[in-house]
């Protein structure tokens, strides 16, 4: 029996309450989450400046030692360079830029060709360095400590500006999982941490875990892949062989984003049921801008949900 998916007469009211809940959190906590990320980014930029001799040596060796430095260097130019623009200016492949910013070197690229491409990237960055932020470049002198810190702060602010949405989503996800943990611990559930070789379908009753990997089949009987589940809870008193409750934490700060992403949950649910059968119980834990269009889509796919502003509905799923 459904808990919320079969009650469309409540959806509008719940959506409005959820929006208020999200907005209150955002105003109170999002600025601090952003500031802490900016402070960490400033430290990373200062380290990158040291690696590049204060942007006077952006060589292939720098990228080989720290491929992920490219994301910062793109923000050190005037104007800051998007990935695709850098690809065109340097005459390198999009895949190379993407791989570097993921923090690794391409595995199958020949060393000579890789070094040539890395030198091209460095040449573009060097030519377009923002001398308003890095005045010592044009003046051909050593920077002062104050100039270095100021420049690092500006670049870090640019970098976090391009990543503001992921920063807020990450902070919100951590908060949601912490809320689930508190709710479960009050009911004397025990958390199983990472590193125990835990399989989701072998959990003991009265236990839960976060970010647990579940193997699924992309197509029936073909191509195994792993998907992460945000929270996995084995209800107390469960019979041997019973599957746990799978919970996906979802938050959103606008309506457009949720409707773009609504197929993700349905795809994950179909993969789970095709692999483990119709006994799979998969629910969403929602906070934010989830309107009737999103809710109706998920309900039609057989997916139920719990609103964060009414967490006690979790008990209706047997936990």
List pLDDT tens digits, range 111-142.
999 999 999 999 999 999 999 899 999 999 99
Q: Which pLDDT score, from 0 to 100, does residue 171 have?
A: 85
pTM of the predicted structure, to 2 decimals: 0.68
Domain match, 313 and 182 both: yes
- The CATH number of whichever domain residue 21 belongs to comes to 3.40.1350
What is residue 38's predicted lDDT score, i.e. its pLDDT? 84
Same domain, 197 and 141: no
Identify whether 283 is part of a domain.
Answer: yes
Provide long-range contacts, Cβ within 8 A and 24+ apart, for 234-237: 234/203, 234/204, 234/205, 234/206, 234/207, 234/208, 235/205, 235/206, 235/317, 235/318, 235/319, 236/189, 236/205, 236/206, 236/319, 237/205
pLDDT, greater one: 35 or 315: 315
Residue 170: predicted pLDDT: 84
Residue 23 lies in a domain: yes
Q: Is the CA virtual torsion 156, 161, 162, 163 positive or negative?
A: positive
- The pLDDT of residue 137: 94
294 with 269, same domain: the answer is: yes
Same domain, 154 and 188: no
- Do 208 and 276 sit in the same domain of this protein? yes
**pLDDT for res 223:** 66
Structure confidence at residue 191 (pLDDT): 95
Same domain, 145 and 175: no
**Domain of residue 76, residue span:** 37-163
Q: Which residue has the higher pLDDT, 220 or 229?
A: 229
For residue 74, give both structure tokens: 């793109």
Total count of domains within the chain: 2
What does the pLDDT look like over 141-177, one tens digit per residue?
A: 999 999 998 899 889 888 887 766 777 788 889 999 9
**Do both 96 and 230 map to the same domain?**
no
Q: What whole-number distance in Å separates Cα of residue 187 and Cα of residue 190? A: 9
Judged against a pLDDT cut of 80, whether residue 218 lies above it is answered with no
Residues 71 and 205 placed together within one structural domain of the fold: no
Q: How many separate helices (H) and strands (E) can be counted in the chain?
A: 11, 6
Q: What is the pLDDT of residues 38-72, one digit of tens each?
A: 888 899 899 999 999 999 999 999 999 999 999 99
Average predicted confidence (pLDDT) for the chain: 90
Confidence of residue 225 (pLDDT cuts 50, 70, 90): confident
pLDDT digits (tens, 9 = 90+) for 174-210: 999 999 999 999 999 999 986 666 788 889 999 999 9
Choice between 215 and 182, residue whose per-residue pLDDT is larger: 182
Q: Are both 120 and 42 inside the same structural domain? A: yes
Same domain, 46 and 152: yes
Give Cα separations from 16 to 182, 250, 259, 309, 310 (angstroms).
Answer: 25, 16, 16, 11, 13
Residue 66 belongs to a domain:
yes
């Amino acid at each position: 029996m459904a808990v919320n998916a079969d009650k469309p007469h409540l959806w509008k009211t719940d959506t409005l309450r959820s929006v208020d809940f999200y907005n209150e959190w955002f105003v109170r906590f999002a600025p601090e989450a952003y500031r802490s990320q900016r402070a960490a980014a400033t430290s990373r930029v200062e380290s990158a400046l040291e690696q590049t001799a204060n942007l006077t040596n952006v060589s292939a060796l720098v990228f080989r030692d720290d491929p992920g430095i490219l994301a910062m260097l793109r923000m050190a130019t005037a104007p800051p360079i998007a990935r695709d623009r850098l690809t065109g200016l340097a005459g390198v492949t999009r895949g190379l830029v993407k791989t570097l910013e993921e923090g690794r070197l391409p595995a199958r690229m020949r060393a000579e060709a890789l070094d040539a491409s890395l030198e091209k990237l460095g040449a573009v960055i060097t030519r377009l360095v923002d001398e308003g932020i890095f005045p010592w470049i044009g003046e051909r002198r050593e920077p002062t400590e104050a100039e270095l810190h100021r420049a690092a702060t500006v670049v870090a602010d640019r970098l976090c500006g391009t990543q503001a949405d992921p920063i807020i989503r990450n902070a919100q996800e951590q908060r949601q999982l912490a809320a689930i943990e508190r709710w479960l611990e009050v009911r004397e559930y025990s958390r199983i941490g990472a590193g125990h070789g835990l399989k989701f379908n072998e959990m003991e009753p009265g236990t839960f875990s976060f970010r647990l990997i579940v193997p699924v089949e992309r197509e029936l009987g073909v191509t195994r892949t792993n998907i992460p589940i945000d929270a996995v809870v084995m209800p107390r008193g469960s019979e041997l062989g019973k599957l746990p409750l799978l919970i996906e934490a979802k938050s959103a700060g606008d309506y457009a984003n949720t409707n773009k992403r609504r197929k993700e949950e349905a795809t994950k649910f179909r993969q789970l049921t095709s692999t483990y059968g119709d006994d799979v119980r998969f629910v969403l834990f929602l906070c934010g801008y989830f309107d009737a269009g999103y809710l109706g889509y998920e309900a039609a796919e057989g997916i139920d949900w719990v609103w964060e502003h009414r967490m006690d509905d979790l008990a209706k799923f047997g936990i």
